[in-house]
């Protein structure tokens, strides 16, 4: 690995200042992507800035009115152990326990998953379905971006030079709402999704009042399909209605063929995984409340 | 080359200081600088788990941690499991159940299994297999490792209620 300097700023302003003065800096949270990329030469850095000492990037905060804030560097094993996330966002616990294995979850963060911006990122379809936004800090202050707009191409995202992701903010769960992320992998764990589907639904008197659906591994970025969720609004959550939404999501996908599956197979899986994710989300909306 | 950094940490309950380059992994620091060669390098990219160590309250692959990140932390390596010449119950169970052949993966399995038993005193087979899914073994076929971990759970924590 090429030599670099190491800095661990203790505050957000310090980190933003350091980032502004070091154009070739790379940000280190859990390092499960970055250190592999630096070692292989795919990325280079003169300075590695460890963001784990910055309080805002390390917090988990939940309030019934404000929802959930997950600091960008919070590792998955803290999310799965958090009582408020367990009770209000069970799908988030599942996704955090599916990213890598136990050791990877000891380091990897959802913020890192978002910033690595892989088309196959497991957490992003669920974050989109949950209506999450990304809080970004930079030299010009802070701004918030819906997660569905964050990734722009494989490995690329909205972060401008000098900016960093501070946290992911998720709205409070509405009454009678439920969410799920499911992925298809040939193994039981430690694998990259052939197709992943995130879904969230809110019911009102047994009728779907709102739904959001997103996919991974079927487009250059994690893919939000607003039309799929909109097709469910004012519908009863019947098998036919969920199937129609799944077909709309399938139509929006533009998968490629690679070692993990052919485009045709992925397209088939899109409808299956979206339907199953919707079924689980509906079941949770009915049981949680 | 970047300036070397002085790192103060705790390894196996002993205060340790070492000097490393920022680019050096915790694995390199443990093996090549501190001289604790029990931790093994397998893949070098976090997939195989052979370099697993305990870092604070969780396990990590030490190839994906920078040595400088160990400052102020507490690390447990396989050298920290035995008490003098008395093997840890997991180490004894691995021997009794022939849960190793070439042995390269074993230190990582032992540290990961130790963390599992601290979190789940009586893990089910499924819990054990999922917990250890980040540890690869190309010799045993895993069944002997799973049986050894379950036997050690009973040895350490008694029979499940």
Q: Convert the pLDDT of each residue in B69-107 to its tens digit.
A: 999 999 999 999 999 999 999 999 999 999 999 999 999
Nearest alpha carbon to residue A75 among B123, B27, B24, B57: B57
- How high is the pLDDT of residue B1? 57
Compute the mean pLDDT over every residue in chain A, rounded to the nearest whole number: 96
Q: Looking at residues B16-36, what average pLDDT do you find?
A: 98
B68 touches chain A (CB under 8 A): yes
ipTM value for the complex: 0.96
Q: Indicate if the pLDDT at residue A289 is higher than 60.
A: no
Of B60, B68, B130, the CB nearest to A106: B60
CA atoms within 13 A on the CB side of B97: 21
Q: Indicate if the pLDDT at residue A281 is higher than 80.
A: yes
Of B22, B64, B131, the CB nearest to A5: B22
Q: Convert the pLDDT of each residue in B28-59 to its tens digit.
A: 999 999 999 999 999 999 999 999 999 999 99
Q: How far is A93 from chain B (nearest CA, A)?
A: 15
The reply to whether residue A3 touches residue B22, judged by beta carbons under 8 angstroms, is yes
Query: Cβ(A125)–Cβ(A197) under 8 Å?
Result: yes
Longest dimension (CA), chain B: 57
- How high is the pLDDT of residue B161? 67
Q: Indicate if the pLDDT at residue A140 is higher than 60.
A: yes
- How high is the pLDDT of residue B160? 76
Sign for the pseudo-dihedral over CA of B76, A100, A32, A180: negative
Q: Convert the pLDDT of each residue in B104-147 to its tens digit.
A: 999 999 999 999 999 999 999 999 999 999 999 999 999 999 99
Nearest C-alpha in A relative to B115: A102
Residues 6+ apart with CB under 8 A from A235: A207, A208, A241
A190 touches chain B (CB under 8 A): yes
Phi and psi, residue B8, nearest 5°: -105, 125
User: How far is residue B50's CA from residue B15's CA, in Å, rounded to a whole number?
Assistant: 24
Q: How far is B6 from chain A (nearest CA, A)?
A: 12
The end-to-end CA distance of chain B, in Å, is 57
B46 touches chain A (CB under 8 A): yes
Phi and psi, residue A50, nearest 5°: -80, 120
Q: Convert the pLDDT of each residue in A6-30 to its tens digit.
A: 999 999 999 999 999 998 999 999 9
Name the token pair of B62: 């030490």
In sequence order, what DSSP letters do the residues of B59-114 get, joined into one string?
A: EEEGGGSBGGGGTT-EEE-GGGTSBTTBPPHHHHHHHHTT--SS-SSHHHHHHHHH
Q: Indicate if the pLDDT at residue A1 is higher than 90.
A: no
A81 touches chain B (CB under 8 A): no
Report the length, in residues, of chain B.
161
Q: Indicate if the pLDDT at residue A190 is higher than 90.
A: no
Q: How far is B152 from chain A (nearest CA, A)?
A: 20
**Domains of chain B with CATH codes:** 5-80 (3.10.20.30), 89-157 (1.10.150.120)
Which three-class secondary structure state does DSSP give residue B5? strand
- How high is the pLDDT of residue A23? 84
Name the token pair of A162: 């000098």
User: How far is residue A269's CA from residue A280's CA, in Å, rounded to a whole number?
Assistant: 16
Query: Cβ(A283)–Cβ(A249) under 8 Å?
Result: no
Query: How sure is the predictor about A287, in pLDDT bands with cuts at 50, 70 and 90?
Result: confident
Q: Indicate if the pLDDT at residue A178 is higher than 90.
A: yes
User: How far is residue A240's CA from residue B47's CA, in Å, rounded to a whole number?
Assistant: 41
Q: Choosing among B21, B74, B128, B133, which should be mutated to test the A contact, i.e. which has the most A CBs within 10 A?
A: B133
Q: Show residues of chain B in contact with A38, CB under 8 Å.
A: 23
Which three-class secondary structure state does DSSP give residue A71? strand
| Chain A residues 105-124 with a CB less than 8 Å from chain B | 105-107
Query: How sure is the predictor about A189, in pLDDT bands with cuts at 50, 70 and 90?
Result: confident
Query: Cβ(A230)–Cβ(A222) under 8 Å?
Result: no
Calculate the CA A84 to chain-centre distance: 18
Name the token pair of A44: 């280079």
Measured between alpha carbons, how far is residue B16 from residues A223, A242, B33, B77 in Å?
Answer: 48, 59, 11, 13
User: How far is residue A264's CA from residue A259's CA, in Å, rounded to a whole number?
Assistant: 13
Q: Convert the pLDDT of each residue in A211-266 to its tens digit.
A: 999 999 999 999 999 999 999 999 999 999 999 999 999 999 999 999 999 999 99
The reply to whether residue B69 touches residue A50, judged by beta carbons under 8 angstroms, is yes
- How high is the pLDDT of residue A288? 59
């Amino acid at each position: 690995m090429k030599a670099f300097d190491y800095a661990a700023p203790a505050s957000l302003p310090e980190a933003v200042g350091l980032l502004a003065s070091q154009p070739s800096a790379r940000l280190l949270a859990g390092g499960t992507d970055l250190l592999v990329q630096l070692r292989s030469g795919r990325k280079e850095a003169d300075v590695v800035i460890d963001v784990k000492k910055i309080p805002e990037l390390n917090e988990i905060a939940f309030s019934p009115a404000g929802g959930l804030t997950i600091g960008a560097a919070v590792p998955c094993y803290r999310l799965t152990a958090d009582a408020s996330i367990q009770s209000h966002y069970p799908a988030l616990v599942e996704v955090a326990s599916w990213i890598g294995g136990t050791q990877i979850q000891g380091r990897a963060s959802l913020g890192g998953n978002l910033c690595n911006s892989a088309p196959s990122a497991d957490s992003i379809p669920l974050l989109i379905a949950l209506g999450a936004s990304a809080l970004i800090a930079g030299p010009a202050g802070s701004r918030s971006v819906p997660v569905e707009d964050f990734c722009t191409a494989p490995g690329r995202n909205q972060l401008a030079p000098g900016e960093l992701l501070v946290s992911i903010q998720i709205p409070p769960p509405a009454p009678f709402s439920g969410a799920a992320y499911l992925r298809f992998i040939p193994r039981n764990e430690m694998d990259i999704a052939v197709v992943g589907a995130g879904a969230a639904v809110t019911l009102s008197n047994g009728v779907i009042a709102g739904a959001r659906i997103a996919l991974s591994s079927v487009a250059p970025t994690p893919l939000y399909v607003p039309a799929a969720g909109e097709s469910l609004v004012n519908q009863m959550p019947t098998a036919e209605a969920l199937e129609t939404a799944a077909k709309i999501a399938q139509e929006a996908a533009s998968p490629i063929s690679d070692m993990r599956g052919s485009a045709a197979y992925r397209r088939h899986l899109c409808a299956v995984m979206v339907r199953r994710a919707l079924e689980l989300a509906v079941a949770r909306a009915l049981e949680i409340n | 080359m970047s300036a070397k950094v002085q790192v103060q940490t705790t390894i196996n309950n002993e205060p340790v200081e070492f000097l490393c380059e920022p680019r050096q992994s915790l694995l390199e620091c443990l093996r090549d600088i501190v001289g604790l060669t029990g931790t093994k390098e397998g893949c070098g990219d976090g997939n195989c788990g052979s370099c697993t160590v305990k870092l604070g309250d969780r396990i990590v692959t030490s190839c994906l941690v920078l040595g400088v990140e160990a400052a102020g932390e507490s690390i447990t390596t396989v050298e920290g499991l035995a008490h003098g010449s008395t093997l840890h119950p997991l180490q004894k169970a691995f021997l009794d159940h022939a849960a190793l052949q070439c042995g390269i993966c074993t230190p990582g399995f032992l540290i990961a299994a130790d963390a599992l038993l601290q979190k789940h005193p009586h893990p089910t087979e499924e819990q054990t297999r999922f917990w250890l899914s980040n540890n690869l073994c190309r010799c045993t076929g895993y069944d002997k490792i799973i049986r050894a971990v379950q036997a050690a759970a009973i040895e350490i924590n008694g029979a499940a209620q």
